[in-house]
Structure 1
């Protein structure tokens, strides 16, 4: 079930106009802290999707204005939109195409240390498993079926717009970056009021 399916997504040019004077809607970036630290839209707050889902009712008290949800491409932001809408927050929009579209449109980014984003990590791991088991399957019959299982998992990930491998990779220390818990998120949101 998708909430706000009829609500148009926000394009990067419109977001740029809304934030040009330093005011405008609250920007919540739902990527992992590691991804956020690598590059984010200036003025955005990092509220990782897992934290948002788990503490959405507590966060509602700090999100009484228009909220723009941001991720890498828009998929996780859409999941955050659904979670917050189900909790009762009405003024939600998703940045269409996420940080990727924002950067392509020439939007400014605050940059930190470079690291691979989750999608690229998933492609590396999945591709490596398929190649290794495919080649090893020439010598050990049946081993190639592991690659088939990975392919099936990627198909399910595309159909459900979720990714178990990505969720597992997000939990690695490399991807977590600095700890982002509810108290940290709330303190940041209060500081901007």
Structure 2
């Protein structure tokens, strides 16, 4: 089940420790980010060892609009990750909401 920007913002505001990843490109991350760990989508297959310890934990993934993070979710799920959630609407929705 995916996650809305509202739910993500609420959980961040509560100070929850989240496994939050940004799959945009570095220049997009540099322009605006919400503190996620940057792993560009194209690098994900080569960087799986960095998140292997999270295989059975909740992983939240976002991008600009939700498309790349959707692909990342599908990829990680196929690789055996059990609880991957896409941030619906991505950073466009986040910024449109004024967060």
Q: TM-score, normalised by structure 1?
A: 0.48
Match of 1:95 among 41, 65, 87: 87
8 Å CA contact retained: 1:66, 1:91: yes
Provide the residue aligned with 2:50 in structure 1: 59
Q: Which residue of 2 aligns with 1:82?
A: 74
Residue in structure 2 matching 1:22, options 15, 21, 40: 15
2:54 & 2:32 partners in 1: Cα distance? 23
- Structure 1 gaps of 5+ residues are 1-6, 108-193
* Two-structure CA RMSD over aligned residues (Å): 1.5
TM-score (norm 2): 0.88
Deviation at 1:55, TM superposition (A): 3.1
Cα distance in 2 for partners of 1:82, 1:59 equals 18
Runs of 4+ in 1 over 3 A off after TM superposition: none
- Larger Cα Rg: Structure 1 or Structure 2? 1
On the 8 A contact 1:10/1:94 being kept in 2, the answer is: yes
Which has a greater percent of strand?
2
In structure 2, the partner of 1:38 is 31
Which of the pair is proportionally richer in helix?
Answer: 1
State the SS of the aligned residue for 1:55. Answer: helix
Aligned length: 98
Correspondence 1:106 to 2:98: yes
Task: Report what 2:61 is aligned to.
Answer: 69
